[in-house]
Every structure is written in C-alpha cells, then in structure tokens.
Amino acid sequence: MQTVTSLKAYKANVDEALRNRFQRQALDNFAVTYPTGRANAFAGMNIAELVDKVADIKDRALGRMDELYAQFKANAEKKGIHVHLAATALDANAIIADIAKTGRATRIVKSKSMTAEETLLNHYLESEGLEVTETDLGEWIIQLRHEGPTHMVMPAIHLSRHQVADLFSEVTGKRQETEIERLVKVARRELRQKYVEADMGISGANFALADTATIGLTTNEGNARLVTTLPRIHVALVGLDKLLPSLEDALHINRVLPRNATGQQITSYVTWITGPTPCAVADSGRKEMHIVFLDNGRRALAKDPVFSQVLRCVRCGACANVCPVYRMVGGHQYGHIYIGAIGLIITYFFHGRDKAKNLVQNCINCGACKAVCAAGIDLPRLIKEIHARIQDETDHPLSSILLGKLLSHRKLFHQLLRTAQKAQAPVVGENGYLRHLPLILSKEHNFRALPPIARTPFRERWPKIKPSVANPIQRVALFAGCVQDFVYPEQLEAGVALMTRFGAAVDFPMQQSCCGLPALMMGEKTAARDVARRNILAMRGSGVDQIVTLCASCASHLKHNYPQLLADDPAMREAAEQFSERVVAFSSFMNDILEIPADAFRSSGTQTTYHAPCHLCRGMGVRHAPHELIRKAGLAFVPAREEETCCGFGGSYSGKFPQISAQILESKLADVAATGADLLVTECPGCVMQLRGGAEKKGMKLSVKHIAEAVVQTLEKT
Amino acid sequence: MKPDPAVVETFIQKAEAVSAKVVRVASPEAAFAYAVDVCATKEACQLLVSGCEAPLSATAEALCETKQEKIMAAPNLPEVEFGALEKLCREKSIGLIKDDLRSHLAGIDIGFTRADYAIAETGTLVINSKSEALRLATMVSEIHIALLPVSRLRATAFDLTEELKQWMSDPADYTAMITGASRTADIERVLALGVHGPLELHILLWEEC
Ligand code: SF4
Ligand code: SF4
C-alpha cells in the first residue's frame, strides 16, 4: 500500500522495491508466462469482440445504476435479504459492524473482496473487537503479515515459500517445512477450524443480478462457498458497479474474466447465491443474509463523461500483469489499495488526490494495459487525465510549466536546442556520445550513453536534400518530431531516400514543431492542445495523401490524441479528424502503401532482431509491416521473445524515474541478447536512444538502428 | 435427448484439462460401486500424503482428530438409490450419511452427488445446492464424485440460462458451477489442488440408454 506524501519519498520506496530480488524474479517469470497462458485460454475466440461485449454490458448497466439498485433491492427484500446502501467506506464498515453486533457475532470468516480492502474493513471490525479471519490463502498470508495485497488476483505474489513457511511456523507454533503442497494443506486445516467457529461470513461479489437478486462469486479455492455456507449470518459487500440486469450479462463477462486474469477458461467455482438458504445452526433454520452496496464515489463517477468507463473494471488484474513498471516495482509501489493501471486511476476517486498524486506520475505510457484490459478501458489516457487534473487542482510544478511554455513557442524552443548544441561541443566524446551528462541530470541517468544534439538539424538540411519526383504515386508530408529533427536527422534522411526511391513525393512543412506528447505526459494539457493546433495548421494546405512519420510516439500521438485534445474546439475538430486520418507510420507506408519489392534489395544475411515500439505495435496497431520490411531488405530476422515489451524510455518518464527506466532497459537488452542478433532494428528515435545508449554503456556488440537506416543500407544501387 | 458426440468429447477434454477424472459408467449401480471402491482403497485421510503429519496448532489438531472412520456423504440421492449405495458401503465398513454434515467438518472422504447439468465449453458441473447438506458435501469432502447423466450435458452456459433463471427466481437458491478440484496458486504461483474444497473431482458419465 503506497501512502507516502512526497515524490521524493515515493522514489525512495521504489528504489527499495527495485532491490527486492525475489519479487523481481517472481514478477519477471509471471510477466513472461502470462501472455501465453492468456492466449491459450482465448484460443479460437475473438478477443476484441468479447471485450467489446463486456464494455457494452458494463456501460449500459452503469448508465442505469440507480435503477438497477432499486430493482435489486425490491427483489431482494421480497426474498428476505436485508439490503443496505453505504455512501462511504466508513458507512459500509459501520453497517457491517452493526450487523455483527445485532446478530451477536464475534467471529468472522471472510473471503476475498477488493471492495473490503477498499474500505479497510478488517481494521475497522478488529477495532470494534471482532475477530476477522481471511480465508483466501493469499489474503490470509498477507493478513498475518499485516500487509496489503500486491496483486488483485494473487495478493501474495511477492512472497516466497520460505517466507510463508516462517509465517505458518509462527501461527501454528510448530516448525513448518517449505514444500508448497504441505503449506497449502496446513492452511486448509488451520482455516477449517475457523469456519467451524465462525458465526458470520463476509464475502464480496463479482456480479449482482437485479432481476433475481442473485450475487455471483468466482473463486478457485472454494473458500467463498464455505464462508457463505457455514456461518449463520452472511454479509456481502458489493460495489454498486457490480450491478447487472440479468444472468446472461454476467455469463458474458465471465467468459472473459478468468481467461484474462489467470489464463483459466473458468474458475473452479462460480457460485450463485439468491436469498437466505437453509442453515442448520441458525435459529430460524435459514441464514440471515445482508447485502451492503457501496457507493464511495461510484454514483458520481458513473455519470462522469470521461471517467465512467473506469467502473467497467471487472478486477481481473491483467493491467498489472503486463505493466512493465509493475513488473519492476511490485504492487506495494504500484497502487494504494487497487493495483496496476486501474489502481493509478481509481485511487484518485476512492482514496483521494493525495494518495494518487505520486502514483499517476509512474506510468510510462506504453499502452500494454489498454491492450489487455478485459473491459476495453483506455487506461493510459485516463492516467494522463488524472495527472493533468491533479496538477490543475494543485500546482503545476515549475519544470512542467516551463516545458509547456517552451513547446508552445517553436522558435524559442528550436533556438534553445541550437544553443545547447553549441554548448555541448566540448563534451562530445570520440564514440559520438556525450562524455558527461548534462548538469540537469543526476548520476542515476548514467545507465545509458546519451547522444549529442546534431550539428545541423534536419530542418536545415532539408533545402539541400529536398528531392523532386516526377509522376509521384503518393504525395506525403513528413512529420519529423524533435528527436529525429535535432538528434537523429540521419534517420529522416534515410527515410526520405527510401520514400523517394519508391515513387513518393516528400514535402517537409517548415512550420511544424514538437508533436506535444511530452507536454501531455507532464500533465500540461493546455500546452499540448496549443501545439496540436499549430501542427495541424502547419501541415495543412500541402495537398498530400499521407502524413508520414518515422517516430512511433509522434505517430500515435498525432493519430489518436489530436482528435481527442481538440474534440471540444469547434474551429479545429474537423481539421483534427482529417489530419488524424492521414497519419501513417513509416513502415506501414513503405510496406502496405508503396508495397516496395524485395528484389530492390541485396541479401545481407545479418542476424537481425526487432523491438516493437509501444506506440507502434499497440498505439498504431502496426505489427506486421516492420517484420516484412526487415525480410524484404534481405536481413535474417530472428524475433525476440518479448518483442512488444517496452524498452523503458517513455520520453520524460525516463527523466523522472531513471532507476525504473534503467531496469526495464536491462530486461529488454537481456531479451535482445538471447536472440544472438547482431543488429537490433526499431522504429522510434526514442527507443533508438534508449537501446543504443544502453547497449553502448554495457559494451554489447550490438548495432541499434532505426528501420529506415537499416533498410536503406541494403538497397541495390540504381 | 442424446447430446452431440462432439459436445461429449469437448466436455471430457475440458474437464480433464483441469485435472478432473472422467469415467464412463453403465448404470447408477456401477457408479456406486466405483465410489465405494475409491473410498475403500483411498488412505483414511487423503491429507496424509501431503501433510497430515504436518504439525498444526492445538485447535486445528483437535478438529482433525474428530475424524475416525471412513465417511461418504450422498445428500441428493433418491431413497432407493441411497439404499443401494448404503448396502455397498456397509460391506466395506464405510459410514454413509445423508445429512448432518456439520458433525463431520473435519473431513468427509467422499461426497457423492448427482449433477443437474454440465457445460462442455469449460468442463463444468452445475449442481443446484439449495440443501445445506449438498453444499457441504461438495465443499468439505476430500474427493467429490459426481454422477452425470449424459443427457444433462449442454454446449455452453448460455444453453442453460432458462433453467438457471428458474432456480434463481425461487425465494432462496444456491447454484454451484464446479470445474475441477479446489485449487490455488497463491504461493509462488505454484498450482496446488485441494486448498479448501475437494482434492479430487471424479465425474462419472452415464449414458442412460
Ligand atoms: S501504460 Fe504501460 S506503464 Fe502505464 S500503467 Fe499501462 S502498462 Fe503500466
Ligand atoms: S482495468 Fe481492465 S485489465 Fe485492469 S483489472 Fe480492470 S478489467 Fe482488468
């Protein structure tokens, strides 16, 4: 559970987590195996369709939250269920404590519920003198350790069998061995006794069906069934977002939930409870059943035009499973109570700005979470929205204001880059990298060699290289982006040469500037909007078919974020849409539009692997074209196992969290090294900077190139 | 109604994929004989193999010690069938109970049930468990053996919504979908079976005609 108040303290916690070797190894193993398990579980199914269906069902239900609640309550009361509505977490806890007192219950068994974690229910009940035992194995372990969960589905993923054995030795008063099978049985038998004694059981619910007043629970261990069967009182704590009209809705969601969570087709138990069932130890012969619905901001959130989609979340935990940052730092540093991408967002709504403000900065914007979300939530965008919102509500840090201002003034910005170029001249080493880090960067940034700013930026080279093509088959405007323009102009030159060679007329509109993504990443939405307007105007009127960029981050920002940023601007909305439609990534343009032929290249046979930039594979949905270009260019393609895992650059992210960036890079380079390739190709200057700088620093014999540079080299001379 | 053989195949494959044991039987009597055989040949306490000798806290130990003879529970069998099973159990000195499962929470060797339906897509059994005894039989037993008439097999859960909704419209209902044994991967993501519920699930597939 992350609770510190300053960014500095947060970074200190992160550093500590990065040194936790067991956790790192455990999360690494999981990150590598999860995608295969998930793919197998969904084999033969259309995942996108299933996810759309979940999103649609949830959106409809969220739009009718109050109505469904009323319907559920009316049906439930007819069946003798007591229904309560808690406005806040504290209210929910008080209601539950009261149920226990009125029912003279002192011993409580609980099955896993993120909602109860949200309200810190156990603490409350214990402070009221009640004994609460978690019965889910992982939850029991962390309860005994007085910790919060580090994963929504696998709460104790950060612990080793040795730690568990020590813990169980303490609990039983007898020395326990470390064999997992045995430890599980020890828990089985210790907890069995707790069920026998308990007079109240608390569960959560995955679904609440309004038409029959049924709750649905998905579990693997079977503890929820005992919790809801043995004690004479059953209380279910359920978020209002779990309400659904009917069983079919739940069955649709349940096709996705377990597959996405753990790669299971279904959990061992799916339990549907309606009304107070017979119970031998209750005076009436029937259970006393309560359902406490929790609002805690959900009703307001359901009406929020931007954020209501976060309530679609079915708590599968997948957004943590694939997150490169979670993989490095674990759940205690990647959430307050809710963990992973969704945790960064809902912490703000359920637990307040203070708990969220550091966390939201720790997203590298790789998009992996969005691509895997069971409910199709646009998580990275919402994380940025929260970041911007928090800055608007409090203060924008000076660095972020300055960046915003600078990016909004193209001339000033470019002038500054030119001045910096001159100033750096004495520190450029023979290897072509900066000999010292710029003063603004601390030694933590020393994990990769940094390139200097180019002596002549691309925009100054343009008038000289400007090609002319007779009878072009395509007319394109080149969008450079700052990194290629000012650091790697040679990548653009290679791209221009290739496009020209295969019949495209290329123009370079000089008024273009930074795409504005760094501003958005820093929470400077106004500046991001400003830059977007300027770029759209700069590229307008050139009468081109496509806007091509060799930078994946620019491409995805121009294509997806521009229309969103300008959606409320009547003067620009349409222009932004038209602009966005024309944006195409370099490799798609070459392979899919120009359809360049393989016989234009000579075979080099260089063992070549590929890193898929986040903003290309997920952001632009471009996966096939770069592979094809590599093959067409006569290079021997050896795919890497984790081709689509982030390299850790993330623009300003690596400036803010250099330690995490360094560790992500480390994993990435190990994955690349495992292919045995001599050449690593990618399609984003940011990735090149990170990977080339990292390989250089480690002294790897690996050449890192932008795909345009690699491909242009095997071009047959004409 | 005879289900499509492909559906039966899918069911068997999916159930086995989650470590359920699927056996074809010719009649309910054969199913009873199977259950009695499993019960007679199994260790007195299945937990033995994987940790009965592990030391426990005093209270948990005390509960464990209340379990003496071998017990089978069969809460949802019709009178005549129960009688037939009881006869077989007696021959092997197995105690057969129908209710009062609460007196045996330390562990029941075999829970024998009749499944109401099954879902091929996921290898799932569907058991209407309104009765507390039936619920407990599928929860506290070390081995759950379920008799499934093949005619009760459906391709997907969606083919059962009418039936399930009917149950749920009752004033009280408890419907269990059961797929494989109780499982956990909470320690180091290593799969372990039988954490709270049964360690094994056997499905006896009975082709009625
Ligand atoms: S965008 Fe990437 S870094 Fe950010 S939360 Fe999602 S997976 Fe994690
Ligand atoms: S946000 Fe999506 S991926 Fe994350 S837990 Fe919720 S449903 Fe699963």
The residue ranges of every structural domain in chain A are 66-299, 419-430+441-591, 607-714
Could you tell me which residues come within 8 angstroms of residue A449 by beta carbon, excluding any fewer than 6 positions away? A431, A433, A434, A692, A693, A696, A697
B53 contact A CB<8A: no
Domains A66-299 and A419-430+441-591 agree in fold: no
Cα-to-centroid distance, B4 and ligand 2 (Å): 37
pLDDT in tens, A529-580: 999 999 999 988 667 899 999 999 999 999 999 999 999 999 999 999 999 9
Burial degree of A666 (CB within 10 A; 0-12, 13-18, 19+): middle
pLDDT in tens, B46-88: 554 334 556 777 777 766 666 668 899 999 999 999 999 999 9
What whole-number distance in Å separates Cα of residue B101 and Cα of residue B155?
33
- List the domain range (segments joined by +) for residue B86: 5-206
Ligand 2 contacts CB of residue A340 (under 6 A)? yes
Q: Which of the residues B174, B175, B193, B203 would you substitute to probe the A interface, choosing the one with the greatest number of A C-beta atoms within 10 Å? A: B174
Contact A185 B165 (CB under 8 A): no
CATH architecture type of domain A607-714: 3-Layer(aba) Sandwich (3.40)
pLDDT at A198 over 60: yes
Pocket flag, ligand 2, residue A319 (CB < 6 Å): yes
Provide the CATH topology of domain A419-430+441-591.
Glutathione S-transferase Yfyf (Class Pi); Chain A, domain 2 (1.20.1050)
Candidate from B14, B123, B184 with C-beta closest to A184: B184
Residue from A206, A306, A299, A302 nearest A256 by CA: A206
Ligand 1 atom closest to Cα of A323? 7
Question: How far is CA A509 from each of CA A137, A224, A514, rounded to the nearest angstrom?
Answer: 61, 63, 13
pLDDT at position A35, please? 94
Q: Which amino acid is at A241?
A: D
> Which residue of chain B comes nearest to A184, CA vs CA?
B195
pLDDT value for A435 = 77
State the nearest Cα–Cα gap between B151 and chain A, in angstroms. Answer: 22
Interchain CB contact of B188 with A (< 8 Å)? yes
User: pLDDT tens, B11-58?
Assistant: 999 999 999 999 999 999 999 999 999 999 987 665 543 345 567 777
Q: What's the total number of domains in chain B?
A: 1
Res. B197: pLDDT tops 60: yes
Q: Which of A28, A220, A248, A288 to mutate to test the interface with B (most CBs of B within 10 A)?
A: A220
With b meaning 16 or more CB within 10 Å and e meaning fewer, what string describes A264-286? bbbbbbbbbbbbbbbbeebeeeb
Does residue A151 line the site of ligand 2, with CB under 6 A? no
Residues 6+ apart with CB under 8 A from B177: A266, A269, A270, A271, A272, B119, B124, B125, B126, B157
Residue range B120-130: mean pLDDT, rounded:
97
Which residue among B121, B131, B172 places its CB closest to the CB of A274?
Answer: B172
Measure Cα distances from A675 to A3, A518, A608, A622, A669 in Å: 41, 32, 9, 22, 10
How confident is the model over A691-701, as a mean pLDDT?
A: 95
Indicate which of B61, B196, B199 best probes the interface with A, i.e. most A CBs within 10 Å of its own CB: B196
Site to probe by mutation for ligand 1, drawn from A310, A322, A325, A378 as the one with most ligand atoms within 8 Å of Cβ, is A325
3-state secondary structure at position A619: coil
Residue of chain B whose alpha carbon sits nearest to that of A155: B186
β-bridge mates for residue A706, sequence order: A682
A424 with A434: CB under 8 angstroms?
yes
pLDDT at A406: 82
Q: What pLDDT shows up at residue A439?
A: 55
Residues A66-299, CATH architecture: 3-Layer(aba) Sandwich (3.40)
- With an 8 Å Cβ cutoff, is A284 touching chain B? no
Q: A-chain residues within 8 Å CB-CB of B60?
A: 172, 189-190, 192-193
- Judged by CB atoms closer than 8 Å, whether chains meet at A160 and B47 is answered as no
B-chain residues near A262 (CB < 8 A)? 185
| Residue labelled with tokens 């992996």 | A368
> Do β-strands A288-294 and A233-239 pair in parallel, antiparallel, or remain unpaired?
parallel
**Which of B106, B175, B188 has its CB closest to that of A26?**
B188
Q: How many Å apart are CA A50 and CA A56, to the nearest integer?
A: 10
Confidence check: pLDDT of A527 > 50: yes
Q: How confident is the model at residue A422 (pLDDT cuts 50, 70, 90)?
A: confident
B191 touches chain A (CB under 8 A): no
Q: Which residues of A touch B181 (CB under 8 A)?
A: 268
pLDDT (0 to 100) of residue A71? 98
The verdict on a CB contact (< 8 Å) between A186 and B192 is: no
Mean pLDDT of A402-406: 83
pLDDT at B39: 94
Tokens 């009316």 correspond to what residue?
A74
Burial of residue B83, with CB atoms counted within 10 A of its CB: 0-12 exposed, 13-18 middle, 19 or more buried:
exposed
With contacts defined as CB-CB under 8 Å, which chain B residues touch A170? none
pLDDT in tens, A566-607: 999 999 999 999 999 999 999 999 999 999 999 999 998 899
User: Nearest chain A Cα to B167, which residue?
Assistant: A274
CA A397–ligand 1 middle distance (angstroms):
22
Q: How far is A376 from chain B (nearest CA, A)?
A: 23
- Whether B132 sits inside 8 A of A277 (CB atoms) is yes
* Ligand 1 touching residue A367 (CB < 6 A): yes
If you measure CA to CA, which chain A residue comes closest to B163?
A247
Q: Which pLDDT does position A234 carry in this prediction?
A: 98
pTM for the whole structure:
0.92
Check: CB of residue A416 under 8 Å from CB of residue A655: no
Q: Using an 8 Å Cβ cutoff, are A718 and A497 in contact?
A: no
**Which ligand has its closest atom nearest to the C-alpha of A369?**
1
Can you tell me the distance from the alpha carbon of A327 to that of A348, in angstroms, rounded to the nearest whole number?
22
Nearest CA to ligand 1 atom 6: A369
- A478 interfaces chain B, CB cutoff of 8 Å: no
Chain B residues near residue A185 by CB distance under 8 angstroms: 47, 50-52, 54, 194
In B, which residues are within 8 Å of A191 by CB distance?
A: 196
- How far away is chain A from the Cα of B26, in angstroms, using its nearest Cα? 27
Structure confidence at residue B44 (pLDDT)? 66
Residues of chain A with pLDDT > 90: what percent?
83
In this model, does residue B147 exceed pLDDT 60? Answer: yes
Is the Cβ pair A226, B196 closer than 8 Å? Answer: yes
Q: Nearest Cβ partner of A222 from B50, B121, B197?
A: B197
Measuring from atom 6 of ligand 2, which residue has the nearest CA?
Answer: A313
Residue ID of nearest Cα to ligand 2 atom 8? A316
Dist. CA A373 → ligand 1 center (Å): 11
Residues contacting residue A403 through CB under 8 Å, at least 6 positions apart: A518, A519, A522, A524, A527, A652
- DSSP for residue A593: I
- Across chain A, mean pLDDT equals 93
Of the listed ranges A253-267, A289-303, A405-419, B154-168, the one predicted with least confidence: A405-419
- Range A690-718 average pLDDT: 94
- Nearest residue in A to B182, CA atom: A221
**What pLDDT is stored for residue B209 in this prediction?**
66
